[in-house]
């Protein structure tokens, strides 16, 4: 027990070191060095696999091969939590808990190394860069890290759940994430002579209202859909009507069909409003990560193991946030799960403060999961 307590203290210390020195997507150079050194202390070799940042380690040997993934990047947020390990990098913060994820999977790797001779296959440990800008998973795939992998597993901490709780879903879980930009080009002029202009502000106001009809009058009420305009920029002073207005926003859905339907209807609305007001409008949609679709078999399997590990199982709703782990699940079966972190403030908030008590139990859970998945897959081999 004393050794386990020391190990938990070590994991928490590593988490705090990561938290104090956060790095943005694709710039996780020091984070990568730290993780490599800590793995090496326990006799675990790791390699870059050609990635600029991030690293991959393997424990065990032979087939089957499964993967555990943790993300390692931080966010451009000014931390507002006063603690001994507050971010030393001004304007950068682990406000999503990737430091928690990394220390957890690091702990799992070390515990698995202690039982390496008993493993019926290989566990590939992936410390993935650049989740926050949705490019890291694709970099990992392009590097061939998932070649030969039979199943992949990952998790996210959930602030609204208490420590000791666990949840996942079969099928759709996290959302398709799309970003759109709209530029409305009008004709500026004197605010006291609006009839001589083509006012892009009035057109923008109508557009904001019209876009809300997509969720209320176009998409089936039984399908999940959010369309939010999050930025409007136009004008420079009080007595001049501007030449143009720029709007930006996001679309969140869970099915390919609804994703396509929303994009098509948004385009119709933009062009219709532009025609009505005699302005021109340009719409660009940037498709982010696809919806995260858990393999039902592994969702059920992971929940069974969580029960055995003593977790309280929660029935979770569909999430409308994005997660690039979805890219892995388009190529390899697996599951993404949620583990409670009990923070008064949510993800991406400057006062987000997860409970470190989740780290060791979650590491032990992933050890148990990896062992049982390998055993199961070994039994299925001819």
Q: What's CA 251's distance to the chain center, in Å?
A: 16
In tens, the pLDDT along 252-291 reads 999 999 999 999 999 999 999 999 999 999 999 999 999 9
SS3 153: strand
Report d(CA 7, CA 115) in Å as an integer: 16
Q: Confidence band (pLDDT; 50, 70, 90) for 367?
A: very high
Q: What is the pLDDT of residue 63?
A: 95
Nearest to 103 by CA among 371, 368, 357: 357
262 close to 227: Cβ distance less than 8 angstroms:
yes
Which of 287, 317, 344 is the endpoint of a domain? 287
Is the same domain home to 154 and 216? no
Asked which of 255, 287, 319 is the last residue of a domain, the reply is 287
Contacts of 133 by beta carbon, 8 Å cutoff, 6+ apart:
25, 26, 73
C-beta neighbour count of 56 within 10 angstroms = 20
- In the 8-state DSSP scheme, what is residue 371? H
R_g over Cα of the chain: 24
The predicted pLDDT at position 12 comes to 98
Confidence band for 115, pLDDT divided at 50, 70 and 90: very high
Specify the number of domains making up the chain.
Answer: 2
DSSP string of 98-118, one letter each residue: HHHHHHHHHHHHHHHHHTGGG
Residues 151 and 185 in one domain: no
Q: What pLDDT shows up at residue 2? A: 54
Phi, then psi, of 204 in degrees rounded to 5 = -65, -40
The CA distance from 69 to 146, in Å, is 11
Is 197:189 a contact under the CB 8 Å cutoff? yes
For residue 337, what are the β-bridge partners? Answer: 155
What are the distances in angstroms from CA 107 to CA 51, 66, 127? Answer: 22, 17, 12
Q: What is the rounded distance in angstroms from the CA atom of residue 295 to the CA atom of residue 288? A: 21
Please tell me whether residues 169 and 198 are part of one structural domain. no
Q: Are residues 105 and 216 in the same domain?
A: no
Confidence grade of residue 380 (pLDDT, cut at 50, 70, 90): confident
Q: How far apart are CA 131 and CA 72, in angstroms?
A: 8
Do the Cβ atoms of 368 and 305 come closer than 8 Å? yes
- Write phi, then psi, for 334 (nearest 5 degrees): 165, -165
Two structure tokens written together for 112:
């698995």
Let me know whether 192 and 281 are in one domain. yes
Same domain, 69 and 157: yes
- Regarding whether 351 and 363 lie in a shared domain, the answer is yes
> How far is Cα 247 from Cα 208, in angstroms, rounded to an integer?
9
pLDDT digits (tens, 9 = 90+) for 210-240: 999 999 999 999 999 999 999 999 999 999 9
Q: What CATH number is given to the structural domain containing 271?
A: 3.30.70.360
Residue-level pLDDT at 128: 98
- pLDDT tens-digit series, residues 162-217: 999 999 999 999 999 999 999 999 999 999 999 999 999 999 999 999 999 999 99
| pTM for this predicted structure | 0.93
225-232 long-range contacts, CB within 8 A, separation 24+: 225/251, 225/252, 225/253, 225/258, 225/262, 226/250, 226/251, 226/252, 226/253, 226/320, 227/251, 227/262, 227/266, 232/204, 232/208
Residue ranges of the binding site:
96, 98, 132, 156, 348
pLDDT, residue 381, reads: 79
Q: What pLDDT does 1 receive? A: 45
The predicted-structure confidence for 83-111, as pLDDT tens digits, reads as follows 999 999 999 999 999 999 999 999 999 99
Residues 218 and 167 in one domain: no
| Residues 208, 96 share a domain | no
Query: What average pLDDT does this structure show over 39-52?
Result: 97
To the nearest whole percent, how much of the chain has pLDDT over 90?
Answer: 98
SS3 (DSSP) at 192: coil
Asked if the model's pLDDT at residue 382 lies above 80, the reply is: no
- Count Cβ atoms below 10 Å from residue 313 Cβ, excluding itself: 13
Q: Are residues 138 and 219 in the same domain?
A: no
What is the CATH number for 68? 3.40.630.10
Residue with tokens 């060791």: 360
Structural domain boundaries, residue 274: 176-287
- Average pLDDT over every residue of 309-320: 96
Average pLDDT, the chain: 97
User: Which of 265, 287, 309 delimits the end of a domain?
Assistant: 287
Annotated binding site for Mn(2+): 96, 98, 132, 156, 348
Pair 174, 134: CB distance under 8 Å: no
Which runs of consecutive H residues, i.e. helices, occur in the chain? 2-20, 29-41, 98-114, 136-142, 200-211, 213, 256-277, 296-308, 325-329, 359-380
pLDDT in the model for residue 319: 95
283 and 295 together in one domain: no
Give the C-alpha separation, 198 to 187, whole Å. Answer: 5
Query: What pLDDT is attached to residue 37?
Result: 98
What 3-state DSSP class applies to 334?
strand
Q: 213 and 87, same structural domain?
A: no
Q: Is the pLDDT of residue 53 over 80?
A: yes
Q: Which residue has the tokens 């403030």?
A: 345
């Amino acid at each position: 027990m004393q050794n386990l307590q020391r190990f938990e203290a070590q994991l928490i210390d590593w988490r705090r070191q990561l938290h104090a020195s956060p790095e943005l997507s694709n710039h996780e150079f020091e984070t990568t060095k730290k993780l490599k050194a800590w793995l090496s202390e326990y006799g675990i070799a790791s390699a870059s696999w050609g990635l600029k940042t991030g690293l991959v380690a393997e424990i065990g040997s032979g087939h089957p091969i499964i993967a555990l993934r943790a993300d390692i990047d931080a966010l451009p947020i000014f931390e507002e939590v006063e603690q001994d390990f507050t971010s030393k990098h001004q304007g950068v913060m682990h406000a999503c808990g990737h430091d928690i994820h990394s220390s957890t999977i690091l702990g799992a790797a070390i515990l698995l190394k202690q039982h390496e001779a008993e493993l019926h296959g290989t566990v590939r440990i992936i410390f993935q860069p650049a989740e926050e800008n949705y490019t890291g998973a694709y970099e990992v795939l392009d590097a061939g890290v998932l070649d030969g992998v039979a199943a992949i597993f990952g998790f996210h901490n959930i602030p609204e759940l208490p420590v000791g709780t666990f949840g996942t879903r079969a099928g759709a879980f996290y959302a398709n994430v799309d970003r759109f930009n709209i530029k409305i080009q009008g004709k500026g002029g004197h605010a006291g002579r609006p009839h001589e202009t083509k006012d892009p502000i009035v057109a923008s106001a109508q557009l904001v209202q019209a876009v809300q009809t997509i969720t209320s009058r176009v998409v089936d009420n039984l399908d999940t859909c959010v369309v939010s305009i999050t930025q409007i920029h136009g004008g420079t002073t009080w007595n001049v009507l501007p030449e143009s207005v720029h709007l930006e926003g996001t679309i969140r859905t869970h099915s390919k069909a609804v994703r396509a339907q929303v994009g098509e209807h948004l385009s119709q609305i933009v062009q219709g409003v532009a025609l009505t007001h005699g302005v021109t409008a340009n719409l660009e949609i940037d498709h982010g990560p696809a919806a995260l679709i858990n393999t039902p078999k592994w969702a059920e399997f992971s929940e069974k193991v969580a029960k055995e590990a003593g977790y309280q199982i929660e029935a979770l709703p569909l999430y409308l946030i994005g997660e690039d782990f979805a890219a892995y699940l388009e190529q390899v079966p697996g599951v993404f799960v949620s583990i409670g972190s009990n923070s008064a403030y949510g993800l991406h908030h400057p006062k987000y403060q997860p409970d470190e008590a989740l780290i060791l139990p979650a590491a032990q859970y992933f050890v148990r999961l990896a062992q049982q998945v390998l055993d199961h897959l070994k039994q299925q081999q001819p």
